Amino acid sequence: MPTTASSTLVTASIAEMRTRVASVRARGQRIALVPTMGALHEGHLRLLDTARVHADLVVMSIFVNPLQFGPGEDFARYPRDTEGDLAKAVGRGVDVVFLPAVDAMYPASPRVTVTPVALHERWEGAIRPGHFQGVLTVVAKLLHIVAPDVAVFGQKDIQQVTLVRAMLGDLDFPVELVVAPTVREADGLAMSSRNAFLGAVARSNALALSRALFAIRDAFERGELDAAALERTGRAVLSAAEGVTPDYLALADPATLEPVERVSTGTVAMVAARVGSTRLIDNVILGGG
Ligand code: AMP
């Protein structure tokens, strides 16, 4: 089996992945899985740190999942940097990197997928039809292959967290979900693999997303509880920026992501916008992260 100097196992093989976790489980040790699509940044690496707190063996999967990209989306041009990713993940102490090929995960067109029947109608699910079916299907497959005790996801993709939590509960996956806070650049921009697409001007315009959320958070902390007023505050920031086309900006219930009229601690402020040709999302939890 291929191993790096630090004894990280790097494998593309589903069988080898299963064997590795089976031997660890046989010793009574705990396993954590951090699913990613690679082009790793500090946000991903913090998920590894979080995973380490919960498990003896930390597995990171890197798989750009074609099933979760719609026609005309950025599957083909999604950033890929396997060598750089391995250096970063190994440097952060990962135990196993699982890099399956598309043909191994989908040897034929799937006959069975995991399709949400709720929680997907709005926001990302509305703009990206079929996206969460692709996400849940690949997450279910990865959970079956790695069989972790804990799966670590980022709050950055909050609707994904909501749907994964629903899948784990509704389909009785024996997996604990751990959600890690969003990691930001020093100026507030949420880290994202897609930030690599931003030129200098777009990078600066993209700050409108986090600024809009921070403006909402500040207004909440000053006592504003009316969602429509908070939304206006955020939209004013977005419309003041050049080249930023909002898809949505909303105040939503953290459990259902349904819009709320009055906000309270725990309400999610979330935004999606196109900055030039790059689509970015971000959120903050009022009174929290
Ligand atoms: P991705 O590779 O974009 O599919 O993301 C893989 C995991 O990393 C998901 O659980 C994301 O929510 C999480 N993630 C992405 N960006 C960040 C960030 N800036 N902070 C924390 N987690 C993140």
pLDDT in tens, 239-281: 999 999 999 999 999 999 999 999 999 999 999 999 999 999 9
pLDDT digits over 181-195, tens only?
Answer: 999 999 999 999 999
Give yes or no for a contact between 98 and 104, defined as CB atoms under 8 angstroms apart.
no
Residue 4, pLDDT above cutoff 80 = no
Give yes or no for a contact between 94 and 48, defined as CB atoms under 8 angstroms apart.
yes
Q: Kindly give the distance from the C-alpha atom of residue 74 to the centroid of ligand 1, in angstroms, as a whole number.
A: 17
Q: Kindly give the distance from the C-alpha atom of residue 8 to the centroid of ligand 1, in angstroms, as a whole number.
A: 22
44, 54, 131, 144: the active-site residue: 44
Pocket test for ligand 1, best of 139, 156, 164 (most atoms within 8 A of CB): 156
pLDDT digits over 97-115, tens only?
Answer: 999 999 999 999 999 999 9
pLDDT digits over 49-90, tens only?
Answer: 999 999 999 999 999 999 999 999 999 999 999 999 999 999
Task: Give Cβ neighbours of residue 250 (< 8 Å, ≥ 6 apart).
Answer: 123, 231, 259, 269, 270, 271
Q: Is 189 in the pocket of ligand 1 (CB under 6 A)?
A: no
Please give the angle made by the CA atoms of 261, 266 and 268, to the nearest 5 degrees.
60
Which 8-state DSSP code applies to residue 120? Answer: -
Give yes or no for a contact between 98 and 11, defined as CB atoms under 8 angstroms apart.
yes
Q: Kindly give the distance from the C-alpha atom of residue 163 to the centroid of ligand 1, in angstroms, as a whole number.
A: 15
CA trace torsion 155, 159, 162, 168 (10° rounding): -100
When pLDDT is cut at 50, 70 and 90, the band that residue 5 belongs to is: very low
Average pLDDT, the chain: 96
Give yes or no for a contact between 92 and 45, defined as CB atoms under 8 angstroms apart.
yes
Q: What pLDDT was estimated at residue 6? A: 57
Q: Is 173 in the pocket of ligand 1 (CB under 6 A)?
A: no
Q: What pLDDT was estimated at residue 24? A: 97
Arithmetic mean of pLDDT, 218-232: 98
When pLDDT is cut at 50, 70 and 90, the band that residue 288 belongs to is: confident
* Model pTM above 0.85: yes
Ligand 1 atom closest to Cα of residue 183: 20
Q: Is 47 in the pocket of ligand 1 (CB under 6 A)?
A: yes
Q: What pLDDT was estimated at residue 7? A: 87
Q: Kindly give the distance from the C-alpha atom of residue 34 to the centroid of ligand 1, in angstroms, as a whole number.
A: 9
Distances (CA, A) of 141 to 69, 107, 136, 157: 17, 13, 8, 19
Q: Is 134 in the pocket of ligand 1 (CB under 6 A)?
A: no
Which 8-state DSSP code applies to residue 173? Answer: -
Q: How far apart are CA 221 and CA 126, in angstroms?
A: 30
Q: Is 138 in the pocket of ligand 1 (CB under 6 A)?
A: no
To the query of whether residue 54 is one of the catalytic residues in this protein, the response is no
SS3 call for 32: strand
Give yes or no for a contact between 165 and 148, defined as CB atoms under 8 angstroms apart.
no
Where does residue 184 fall: left (phi above 0), alpha (psi -120 to 50 degrees), or beta otherwise? beta
